[in-house]
Amino acid sequence: MNFEIQKRALSRVIRDDLDALIVFCPQNTEQAPDAQDPLSLVLRQALAKGDLTPKAGSVLSLYGLAGVKSRHVVLVSTEDQTCAHIRTAVVAAWAALKAAKPKHLGMHTVGEWTAQRLQTAASALADGSYSYTATLSKPQHRTLQQVTFSAADVAAEHRAAMVQTQAVVSGVELAKEWANRPANHATPTHLAEAAKAIAKGRSFKCDILGPKEVAKLGMGSFLAVAQGAAEPLRFIVMRYSGTSSAQAPVVLVGKGITFDTGGISMKPAPEMDEMKYDMSGAASVLGVFKALGQLRPAINVVGLIPATENMPDGMAVKPGDVVTSMSGQTIEILNTDAEGRLVLCDALTYAERFKPQAVIDIATLTGACVIALGGVRSGLFTSDEALAQHLQQAGESSGDLCWRMPMDEAYAEGLKTRFADVANVAGRAAGSVTAAKFLQRFAQKYPWAHLDIAGTAWKSGAAKGATGRPVGLLLHYLLAKASLPVSSRRRA
Ligand code: BES
Ligand code: MN
Ligand code: ZN
């Protein structure tokens, strides 16, 4: 899907060759254009007669209006034009239009575009028109191909926002696509191939490590999770260089459990299929790299993905087993279903070699985070104030929200054990925080943050599907960094 933006009055847009046109309308006639073209007249009348209410998402569908080239026109209210209302408006307008299967859609605002509004509208549209295709024998491919945004006034910053939005949307869609794939179509080997494909021609470096190399590195914790799986593990290392190699990189670590049965501490059957989404963190890293390749910002980024299935088997790791992580710390695996932290801890140790300015791990880590924050905000865990602030800001500006959780040392109490340096689980209380405290032990050598996306990476029920989060948040964080002068980029 392609996005563009053009400077055009509504009276001019009606002559454009579009299959459908959505017009974001103002709340009253005073704010409406006073032109005499047929669409402006209808718009003013609809507002004056109260046939288009000012409530966000209120729609009026028009068809075959004389003097308007686009057969389908949907007038929609955006209320005060906040991002939440823009989203509501796009969802409502698209619901009225999607049956018409437009190929080329116009999206005109009578008000003003801002970078944030453009991104919100484009993302909502991409979301609404996305359809999963990978494993269908007769896939319904998206018909919408071109979206032309317009307004009477369009500046250079809007064009720049459009370019950025295009990349964010393609990153989000790649993340969705991979997260949605069933586990037999998204094995660790498949993920590694996807990483290679993204790197190809984009001058990324991409190294794929297998069981032998991982054993040689001493990743005893990662290996313990993988030892029950017949599918071989992969450790994916992607490197994007957008600036001098003297500049310390940001490292992104994505949990890549391609299926989480729980292992010997097996999960109950209901909804277990959703554990195909347990590689959503990995998918978000792939999505970010796809977008970096398009935008080529002046920043260095490393992506690390420890990928494996978590399976029960004669060879599988058992509750009570003690393993030695790459850091040298021994871990008592009391629950084999707390496997995410076991693969991530070795990746966090591996990250040290890049002397990173910051490391962010992204993981569908705990059911407890779903209970705490639901599907609205991802959990943000860090002791680094600057990093916390930057990630929260990126969440707000992208609309891909997060919420900071506590990291008091007292939460680590339950991880103590007589039989190893640390246990992989504490009690049920504050489960998302104790998981973060476990990871923190392995992230002492750089500023570090952890995003628990267990609640935000996918939707359950009738709307089951990946969301592509937190690709938007991560890209906003990285792009904000790239636009800072080099001197202030040193820390977080
Ligand atoms: N992948 C799950 C977390 C999860 C569960 C995400 C449900 C989304 C929905 C993770 O590997 C896991 O099983 N965590 C356990 C940890 C527990 C054993 C301490 C959990 O949350 O139950
Ligand atoms: Mn698990
Ligand atoms: Zn898991």
Q: For 60-119, what is each residue's pLDDT tens digit?
A: 999 999 999 999 999 999 999 999 999 999 999 999 999 999 999 999 999 999 999 999
452 lines ligand 1 (CB under 6 A): no
| CB hemisphere CA count around 375 (13 angstroms) | 11
Q: What percent of the chain has pLDDT over 70?
A: 98
> How many Å separate Cα 260 from the centre of its chain?
20
The two tokens of residue 154 are: 């369009």
Q: What is the pLDDT of residues 369-385, one digit of tens each?
A: 999 999 999 999 999 99
To 10 degrees, the CA torsion angle through 336, 233, 380, 422?
40
423 lines ligand 1 (CB under 6 A): no
Distances (CA, A) of 142 to 70, 84, 108, 130, 459: 20, 25, 22, 7, 20
**What is the model's pTM?**
0.97
d(CA 116, CA 113): 8
Q: What is the pLDDT of residue 491?
A: 44
Residues listed for the chain:
492
Give, for 48, the enclosing helix (H) or strand (E). helix 38-48
Determine the straight-line distance between the first and last CA of the chain, rounded to whole angstroms: 34
Q: Are 341 and 438 in contact (CB under 8 A)?
A: yes
- Does the 175-491 domain belong in CATH 3.40.630.10? yes
Ligand nearest to the CA of 366: 1
- In the reported structure, the alpha carbon of residue 427 is separated from the centroid of ligand 1 by a whole-number distance in angstroms of 13
| pLDDT over 60 (residue 433) | yes
| pLDDT over 60 (residue 21) | yes
> How many Å separate Cα 66 from the centre of its chain?
43
- In the reported structure, the alpha carbon of residue 202 is separated from the centroid of ligand 3 by a whole-number distance in angstroms of 31
CATH superfamily, domain at 2-150? Leucine Aminopeptidase, subunit E, domain 1 (3.40.220.10)
Residues 6+ apart with CB under 8 A from 454: 363, 364, 365, 366, 367, 369, 370, 379, 432
Residues labelled catalytic: 267, 341
Spell out the domain ranges in the chain: 2-150, 175-491
d(CA 257, CA 275): 8
Domains 2-150 and 175-491 share a fold: no
Ligand nearest to the CA of 428: 1
Q: What percent of the chain has pLDDT over 90?
A: 96
